[in-house]
Amino acid sequence: MWDGKQRLDNKRILIWSEQGVGDTLMWSSCLSLIVSISKHCILECQEKLLPLLKRSFPNIDIKCEDRRMDLERDDIDFHLPMGNIYKYFIKEISNNKINSYLIPDPDRVKFWKDRLKSLGNGPYIGVSWKSGNMSNQRLPNYCQISELFPILNIPEVTFINLQYIDFEYDLNKLKVDLGIIVHNFDDLDHYDNIDDVAALCSALDLIVSTKTTVPIISAGVGTPTKLANWKQSPWNNILLNPKGPCINIYERNTVETWEKTFNSISKDILKFKKNWSG
């Protein structure tokens, strides 16, 4: 394992994903730091991320993770778990502004922009409110869709679902109880087609989300992103917060509801909407 000290200018280093899809996408924002000091960099990651990451990092050898040959491989000089990039480059990561680092398919971005226009007028705002893992430990990071009412009640906005699992009941209840429509594209596989999700996020004007994979993608492609964050969360730190040039984080304390947070986001969206030119 690389210890951050050995020279890599004539070496091949393997960076391997060690957590979930969101973590891999987030930490890929720091890959350029390794590339700049190594002869050859390999990233092994989840298969569903290959199209997006290959396009975004053409100077890195992106491969599907395969641990079966780890003990016998001789094609690398060093390896490093992906999150450990922060261990050796925390100063650079802390001081440098992160630009957009995920590059969506331009043809699919155009496709989604045309598709959005068919729904009505913009601005087009994507929303996500919960994770696929709603364990007790993680639950305070997320909200009920009804708590998004200060945002979803903004007039003359077309809302788009970016929730990737268990959203049908929520969207139907929202429509029946409050008369609010959040459009969902049934032909988009939000869970596995990450490349197309990135294109849709790029086509949207703004994203509002709690701590899911969605704001990692949207911030990474450079779409203005409003993250509603639990301040005392163990995941609220430089290692795990989304990166990008247009990410705004709004925090709530444990003893508070989400009301103040979403009211603040709503006020900022109204300002955004006032200056939106389409």
**Tens digit of pLDDT for each residue in 11-39?**
999 999 999 999 999 999 999 999 999 99
Most confident region among 65-69, 70-74, 206-210 by mean pLDDT: 206-210
pLDDT tens digits along 156-215: 999 999 999 889 999 999 999 889 999 999 999 999 999 999 999 999 999 999 999 999
Residue 74 pLDDT > 80, yes or no?
yes
Indicate the pairing of strand 124-128 with strand 78-81.
Answer: unpaired
Mean pLDDT, all residues of the chain: 94
Q: Encoding tokens for residue 240? A: 């795990």
The fold of the 106-275 domain, in CATH, is Rossmann fold (3.40.50)
- Is the pLDDT at 70 greater than 80, yes or no? no
Domain boundaries, the chain: 8-95, 106-275
Alpha-carbon distance 191 to 193, whole Å?
A: 6
Structure confidence at residue 130 (pLDDT): 92
Q: 163: buried, middle or exposed (CB in 10 Å: 19+, 13-18, 0-12)?
A: buried
More confident residue, 73 or 149: 149
Q: What CATH number is given for 8-95 in this structure?
A: 3.40.50
Tokens of 278: 């389409």
User: Residue 13 in 3-state DSSP?
Assistant: strand
* Domain 8-95 identical in fold to domain 106-275: yes
Q: Which of 46, 37, 54 is nearest to 88 (CA)?
A: 37
Per-residue pLDDT of 80-127, as tens digits, reads: 999 999 999 999 999 888 899 999 999 999 999 999 999 999 899 999
Give the model confidence (pLDDT) of 196-209 as tens digits: 999 999 999 999 99
Q: Take residue 25 and report the two structure tokens written for it.
A: 């996408």
Per-position b or e across 153-162, b if 16+ CB within 10 A of its CB: eeeebbbbbb
Both tokens of 104, joined, read 């969506």
Q: Which letter does DSSP use for residue 121 in this model? A: S
- pTM, rounded to two decimals: 0.95
pLDDT at res. 136: 82
